[in-house]
A and B are shown apart, each in its own frame.
Chain A
Amino acid sequence: MNLSSGGLPGHPAIPEEFRLLCMLHNIGATTTEKSMSIEEVTQWTELDVEVLRHLLQKLRQLGYVEFVEVDGTKKYHVTPVGITKVMTLYS
């Protein structure tokens, strides 16, 4: 199972925000210390900044992502609940 597949044949596509959550997890943004700014995440994911902001906001509302402010910059990371959510895809 993987993200490039868009889900399983005959089933709905994996939601966009969930794809982003998996990417954040795989690039290592899983703790406060490893949080990443929107610019850093953009470099990895090549997503449009506005799209990224919107998806991160959605993931925050769901409790899967949090941010910390470092020198006035918001840096995002996956929460423990978010990590477990990601693992449901691969387990």
Chain B
Amino acid sequence: MKIGMLTWEYPPRIVGGIARHCNDLAIALAALRHEVHVFTLDFPGAPAFEVTEEGIRIHRVASEIGHPSFLTWVLLFNHFIEKRIADVGQEVKFDVLHVHDWLTAPVGIAFKRSIGAPMVLTMHSTEHGRSGIHNPDSSTIDGIEWWANYEASKVITTSGSMKSEICDHFRLPWEKVEIIPNAIDSDKYQGSVDREAVRARFGVQPQEKLVLSVGRLVPQKGIEYLIQAVPSVSWRSPESKFVVVGEGWYRDHLQHLAGTTGQAWKINFTGFIPDHELIALTKSADVLVVPSVYEPFGIVALEGMAAGVPVVASEVGGLAEIIEHDKTGVLVYPRNPDSIAWGINHVLSNPDHAGWLSQNARKFVPKAYSWKVIAKKTVKIYREVAR
């Protein structure tokens, strides 16, 4: 099939899970011998067009006009992506357009009309869930999300909780929405690392316990509750050190909050780190904490599980579907520092049990969350709508 994938983030333009999701899905689709064209935004240093070694055709589009208003900017870049698809569409007859989230929905909606190809939409999250509908702009985004869900022939969500959320919020027919989970490349997490050297780079000594958290520094990730749990964890596990990986507009607030715990010296905010370093760090951690308050899927938890590190996660959204409590990880109450501290201490103070948890998780992840399986399920949907 000829597939047009539309996403506002694609490597090297990476911020959250969408870029990695689209990249890995595109690779898996190409491996199944489908022709994949990715339409995305430009990024300094990345070519405007390239064919990757896997055969993916990436079209990076510059928005030639800017505007300080975010929503206007979104409409402008959609316009420029539309022009590029129009050019490519002269030579390529797409069988399906696959839009990821609302940011590229306007161009997807326009093109499904003009080229007569059906549109599939993956909803990775909703404005309602991310921040609530609290002002005119968020109301507009919510409206565009509803519009995209209405226009799509099929909607994909990555978890059952997300399916319930969008069916309820957008009043979608249940049968219009398919659940296809995220996946990861477990092979990336095989092999050994020099644990002591990796930990030392992040200020963690061999005898200390590395408590790791990875995610965008925004309220929905719940990092503030982990920080509030630091004194309780330190009381039970004085040798614990906390490494917070990620970036976001909430960082200043979180660092200030860390200062109020009296334990700021134990908390290292690293900002973004390269993928290879993140994998090494994850494999070197004693526990990975995912304290999200809203998490449609929670791919970070899967990555931790694949890396063989015990995972402590909030019992919300997709996390509660990925992790079986006290078998493949530990679930804790969201927005609850005491519960998070309990979960971390439960892992740190029971190394044998922690090892058993991570072993179970490591066996489970490749079976349930492989990109090959996920790509085949996605193609089944493409074929269904392209009939």
**Chain A interface (Cβ < 8 Å from any Cβ of B):** 1-5, 7-9, 11-12, 14-15, 18, 22-23, 26-31, 44-45, 79-81, 83-85, 87-91
Contact = CB atoms under 8 A, between A and B. Distances in A.
B249 A28 contact: no
Interface string B106-128: 00000000000000000000010
A12 B219 CA distance: 10
15 contacts: A2-B71, A2-B137, A2-B138, A4-B135, A5-B137, A9-B132, A26-B72, A27-B68, A31-B44, A80-B12, A83-B44, A85-B248, A85-B249, A87-B9, A87-B16
B350 to A, nearest CB: 35
Contacts of B63: 28
A88 B218 contact: yes
A45 B64 CA distance: 18
Interface string B58-92: 00000111111111110000000000000000000
Nearest to B253: A12
A84 B135 contact: no
B70 A22 contact: yes
Given A4-B135, A5-B134, A26 B13 contact: no
B326 interface: no
Interface in B1-30: 9, 12-16, 18
B103 interface: yes
Contacts of B64: 28
A2 B135 contact: yes
A10 B250 CA distance: 13
A70 to B, nearest CB: 18
Contacts of B247: 84-85, 88
B217 interface: yes
Given A84-B272, A88-B216, A1 B131 contact: yes
A11 B138 contact: no
A88 B44 contact: no
B80 to A, nearest CB: 11
B252 interface: yes
A22 B69 CA distance: 9
B130 interface: yes
A24 B63 CA distance: 13
Nearest to A32: B44
Nearest to B70: A2
Contacts of A23: 68
B249 A88 contact: yes
7 residue pairs, one from A and one from B, having the closest CB atoms: A28-B66, A2-B137, A27-B66, A88-B248, A87-B15, A26-B73, A91-B16
A79 B66 CA distance: 16
A27 B217 CA distance: 24
